[in-house]
Amino acid sequence: MNNLIGLEQAFVNVLFWAALASSALFLVELAGKQLWARPVAIAGMALGIVCTTVAMVLRYVYAGYPPLSNLFESLLFLIFGIQLIFLIVQFTLKPRIFGVVAAPLVTLLVAYASILPAHLKDAHPLMPALQSYWLKIHVSLMLLSYSAFMLAFASAIVYLVIYYTKGKQELGDDSRGGTGGGMLALEGAGTLGDSKVAGHLLFLDDMTYRLILAGFPILAFGIITGGMWANHAWGTYWSWDPKETWSLITWLVYAGYLHARMTRDWKNQKAAWMAVVGFVSVLVTYLGVNYLAQGLHTYGSVL
């Protein structure tokens, strides 16, 4: 078993360095126009998802249960989801700037997972309520939705940085974005006066929207399956546990984002700020209630 634990840690270490190298290479490609850097960076992200998968499989083998029960294991799955979404987007849409969003996010999450104390990293026997097939269904759906929302947050942050440092001066307050223009800017080509800044903003605005649009129904199914699991374990579908309540609040925040986007044409910086608010709600759901509240989900406490 110790050999498997050591091997798992080795793959996590490789994952970190691969993500860090990819982050640097994506920045080199974007800032220095070094075209060779992007395929190497994408290969680093592909290596990362292999390392993440192997680490989770090793945990499954020596722990004897799906690696979804503590903070370290959930972070690994979160990283896996982010890498998977990145690779799907990269190989289907071939965007130029998306690696600058995804790779640093993976790097930060791996670094955070690596410095967790032992009681949040080590495998422990599952408490009775977790010894259910619902663990794989409910938790994986929730974490996959969080992966999409985290990428949307990172995309919104990059959007806001570019907008307030370059885009606002270059394009003024009338800069346009949205689902129509963003996909035209995949390779950084300008769609507003041949501006690469405009192209990046269009893409980031559109990608934030698409990621939230993808994560929203996954979160809904996660909440539904959580209710079914709760009924199986505790005899009630909903008990207003803090985790349940904040999951619903998070769903409502993103419902508000999509409503504003579709009916009131909220785009650009307003939509980006709303995506940031949504991510704050995700953080409260994922980590905050474990600090501040006691409830049926306290087995995941990060304290």
Q: To 10 degrees, the CA torsion angle through 235, 237, 239, 241?
A: 110
How confident is the model at residue 194, as a pLDDT?
A: 43
Q: How far is CA 139 from the centre of its chain?
A: 14
Pick 186 or 87 by higher pLDDT. 87
Taking residues 82-89, report their average pLDDT.
95
Side-chain-side CA neighbours of residue 297 (13 Å): 29
Predicted confidence band of residue 214 (pLDDT cuts 50, 70, 90): very high
Q: Please provide the average confidence, as pLDDT, over all residues in the chain.
A: 84
DSSP 79-138: HHHHHHHHHHHHHHH--SSHHHHHHHHHHHHHHHHHTS-HHHHS--PPPGGG-STHIIII
CA distance 268 to 104: 22
At residue 263, the pLDDT reads: 87
Task: Name the most confidently modeled range: 121-130, 139-148, 224-233, 261-270.
Answer: 139-148
Amino acid identity at 187: E
Q: Does 1-126 carry CATH code 1.20.120?
A: yes
DSSP 187: T
Give the residue with greater pLDDT, 173 vs 212.
212
Instruction: Assess whether pLDDT exceeds 50 at residue 182.
Output: no
Based on the number of CB atoms within 10 Å of its own CB, is 54 exposed (0-12), middle (13-18) or buried (19 or more)? Answer: middle
- Mean pLDDT across the stretch 146-158? 95
The domain ranges of the chain are 1-126, 132-303
| Mean of pLDDT values over 101-123 | 91
- pLDDT band (50, 70, 90) for residue 235: confident
Residue 175: pLDDT band (50, 70, 90) is very low
Distance CA 177, CA 208 (A): 11
CA angle at 154 for the pair 97 and 206, rounded to the nearest 5°: 60
Q: In the structure, what pLDDT confidence band is assigned to residue 180 with cuts at 50, 70 and 90?
A: very low
